[in-house]
Structure 1
Amino acid sequence: MYYGWKIVGVSFTALFISIGFLFYSYGVFFLALEEEFGSSRLGISLGLALMNLTMGLMAPFLGKAVDRYSIRTIMLVGTCLMSTGFLLAAQITALWQFYLILATLLGVGEAMLGMIPSQTLVANWFIKNRGIALGIATMGVSASGMIMAPVSSKLIEVIGWRYTFIVYGITSMVVVIPLVYCFVVNRPEEKGLFPDGESAPDALPPGSLVESEGAFETEDQKAADTIDHHSWSFRQAVTNKNFWAIVITFSLCMHCIGAVLTHMIPMSIDRGLTNTQAAMLLSLSAGVGVVGKVIFGWIADHIDTRVGVWISIAFQMSGVFLISRGEEMLLMQIGVALFGFGMGGVVPLWGSLIGEVFGRENFGTIMGTMSPCMLPIQITGLPLAG
């Protein structure tokens, strides 16, 4: 078996832990934290917005780091910080302390373990099969949502939110550290291999996205202007219109996702659902997202990444419309399923586009630079939806 699939497995686990324990579980903690500290829904949402702000601000530095230094070391440090953050969060006596932990230990730790290092690893190990590899790796995000929302709800019900944080802190360290330490290698060349397990590096396949006068034009359309986008530098990337097209498109998607995932449980409870029923809705969106990640990854590899982006957006918009209008359980379930399927494509399509347009040499740097550019639009979804 090609070693790159082990990298995919580690990335799956890292994303499951970092995203599931923080983002997907955050909405489940809403009522407990509101009752404990007498805060408003806007006040609780602010904590996640602060964590997103931290992650966005450090993303450019993290992106450069994963391109230049050991991703294994970065992920190990991130795991330790995140675990410590959970253990300290269990001891808080005021909401400002929770804000501080989210904006420091948990925010920095999640960033160092989560999306940028995990996607960079997979993008380094795959070219031809990058879409499906990213789709499988980022299934960890959807799988965590499918599992962690009801698990968190049950844990809070049985042992309380403080001990739930302790369980998360210990589990993060015990599960992630051995996997990262034993298996993470930055690039296939470090093990004498080539991307996708090829015996020699092949030329880019026809239809690969390259720089052109129009956003996302293909090599076939501009064959005379074809360039080796493995040589794209950071400066070339940020001055290219494709960079900003990707930033705007995916920041709007992240804005929508953050708002829906964070407020779905409180909104559902307001409409008469129990905490467990609301958590199951969140799990439904994540479960359908698992299917979406595989399908959109296949579309990126075999049809056209741009087509996948438009389909993903269409499903998200349809889902949000039904969720916002639906008072009946069935209508909400349909809306959540549609939204979850479209949401499933966002992360793998984002990584696929970066890899196709700019190559893998500076993948982490470019993804990291996009993150703070996306932040102003992305974080407004959390408090505005509250």
Structure 2
Amino acid sequence: MNGMTGAAAVGDVTGGPSGQGRMMVARAFLAQNVAVGCAFGGFGVSVLPLQQLYGASRGTTTLSLALCVLVLGLVSPLIGALIGRIGLRWTMTIGTAISGAGYALLAIAPSMPVVLLLYALPIGVGLAMFGPFPASVLASNWFRRNPGTALGIANTPLFVALLPMVGLIVIRDHGLGAFYLTLAALHVALLPVMLGVSDAPAEAGQQLGHGHGHGGGAMMSARALLRRPAFWVISLGAGYLSAVGITAVSHLVAFVAERGVAASEAAGLLSIMGGAAVIGSLVIGFLCGRLGAPFSLGLIAAGLALSWLALLSTRSFPLMALASLMLGAGGAGVFPAVNMLSARLFGQDSLPRVIGLFGVVTLPLTFFLPPLAGVLRDIIGGYGPVAMMLIGGCVIIALLFFGMARAGRQVQAPAV
């Protein structure tokens, strides 16, 4: 039985238990928001205070989050194996405690090297253990037949937008240490929520021959996954789309400023892109349920290409705002679509290992493409060729995923 057939079989059993299933999606939403909101939203507002407090350079200060992302990608395969061994409940609970301890220690960190170490280890490891990866597995476990909407809700980054505003007030009135203690308190408040996590419906676990619901026995090996061409297509294609989204966050203001856009309007475009990420996960999750994940990923790639083309060819603020909206929504929708497609192709019980390996394989793209874009811009003397490179890559990826969607429909037609 192949991965797609296995996923369909379990999906027939688990169409989504309404009450408890919605509660698990809510827990996944809170876990993802505390993890990502504190790491990314909280870091954005603390960069300048960190630099001033320790007398560090901007490059050294921003290295904190880069190290966190690096560790997140490197340990993801280990977290996938850990979920298969001890289940989601304890993985996410331990991760919440580790990450919360990291923020509490940041409040009393004596030097910048200690800050870098704390962001890399307790916070980076904790983010991997209870952040978007395990939260997505939890949501899709409870809605196996059509997890698109559940994944979209679980990955909605609401706290990324809210925590910077809270942080500005707390840091202004009480200092940076108080803000880090506030983030630690959020983790403490989340612990009882994580203890209430149930990995999967009982009937799904019973069908697979175990009652704990984490599905470790049916998980594909890493070697088997790495031998599947579909895994590499998903990883390289979706990894490139994620890297393009991160590049947009890093370079949008400088890109439009180079085209003569005022600083206030450039900041407004960045805000629009950040706000679009909140709705992007929901919209892409819905589209995945209706149109399928491969076609939705193709739409994301086409939308990113059109967005960069619009930014490159116009100075009209309304058109630039629309392009920024599409960039933010598309970038936020990649991960839910990858989760849904991976579960359908390789089986729901292999999802932790698939996403763990996905994080490692895509790390070179997400880690190096944003700075590479800056280096190329400096060498060439402008963003034009860089934008054309991003557009060309997105067009290729769009054709790749549209082809996958068409092939999937042709395979399913004889079975129907």
TM over 0.5: yes
CA distances 1:12-44 after superposition (whole Å, capped 9, x unpaired)? 000110001111332222222233334443322
Alignment counterpart, residue 60 of structure 2, candidates 33, 39, 43: 43
1:148-196 Cα distance to aligned partner (Å, 9 max, x none)? 233323333333322211111112211x1111112x111212688889x
Aligned to 1:308: 296
Determine the C-alpha separation between the residues in 1 that align with 2:102 and 2:51: 20
2:185 aligns with 170
Matched, 1:359 2:347: yes
- Correspondence for 1:157 among 153, 169, 172: 172
Which of these residues, 169, 181, 195, is aligned with residue 195 of structure 2?
Answer: 181
Aligned ranges 1:217-366 → 2 under 5 Å: 233-261=221-249, 278=267, 284-320=272-308, 333-366=321-354
Q: Which of 82, 90, 111 lines up with 2:128 in the alignment?
A: 111
Q: Name the residue aligned to 1:100.
A: 117
Query: Alpha-carbon deviation of 1:128?
Result: 2.0
CA–CA distance in 1 between the matches of 2:165 and 2:114? Answer: 26
Q: In the superposition, relative to structure 1, how do residues 272 and 302 fare at CA in structure 2: closer, same or farther (>3 Å)?
A: closer
Range that drifts further, 231-240 or 53-62: 231-240
Is the Cα contact below 8 Å between 2:96 and 2:126 reproduced in 1? yes
| 1:14 to 1:54, Cα distance in 2 relative to 1, 3 A | same
Partners of 1:42 and 1:383 within 8 A in 2: no
Q: Does the CA contact (< 8 Å) of 1:63 and 1:368 recur in 2? A: yes
Match of 2:38 among 21, 26, 29: 21
The one-letter amino acid paired with 1:357 is L
Q: Which has the higher helix share?
A: 2
Letter in 2 for 1:189: A
Q: Indicate yes or no: 2:360 matched with 1:372.
A: yes
Read off the aligned partner of 1:127 and give its amino acid letter.
R
TM-score (normalizing by structure 2): 0.73
SS for the counterpart of 2:108 is coil
1:27–1:251 distance in 2 versus 1, CA, 3 Å: same
Unpaired runs of at least 5, structure 1: 196-229
Greater relative contact order (Cα < 8 A, sep 6+)? 1
- The percentage of counterpart residues that share the same residue type is 26
Q: Is 1:77 aligned to residue 90 of structure 2?
A: no
Equivalent in the alignment of 1:127: 144
Give the Cα separation in 1 of the matches to 2:315 and 2:58: 21
Counterpart amino acid of 2:191? Answer: I
CA distance in structure 1 between the partners assigned to 2:242 and 2:180 by the alignment: 26
Q: Decide whether the 8 Å contact of 2:220 with 2:353 is kept in 1.
A: no
User: Offset of 1:261 from its aligned partner?
Assistant: 3.7
In the alignment, does 2:22 pair up with 1:9? no
Deviation per CA, 1:75-134, whole angstroms, max 9, x where unpaired?
111111111111111222422111100111111111111122111112222222211111
**Corresponding residue SS for 1:91:** coil
CA distance in 2, matches of 1:110, 1:75: 9
After superposition, what is the alpha-carbon deviation per residue over 1:258-278, rounded to whole angstroms, capped at 9, x for unaligned? 34445668999998758xx95
Distance change >3 Å, CA 378–CA 265, structure 1 → 2: same
Q: Provide the residue aligned with 2:213 in structure 1.
A: none
1:29-75 CA distance string (max 9 Å, x none):
22222333344433223221211121112111100111231211111
Q: Say if 1:282 and 1:167 are closer, same or farther in 2 by CA, change over 3 A.
A: farther
Distance in 2 between residues matched to 1:385 and 1:157, nearest whole Å: 34
1:27 and 1:261 in contact (8 A); partners too: no
For residues 61 and 32 of structure 1, what CA distance do their matches in structure 2 show?
34
Deviations 1:237-256 (A, max 9, x none): 22011101111122222323
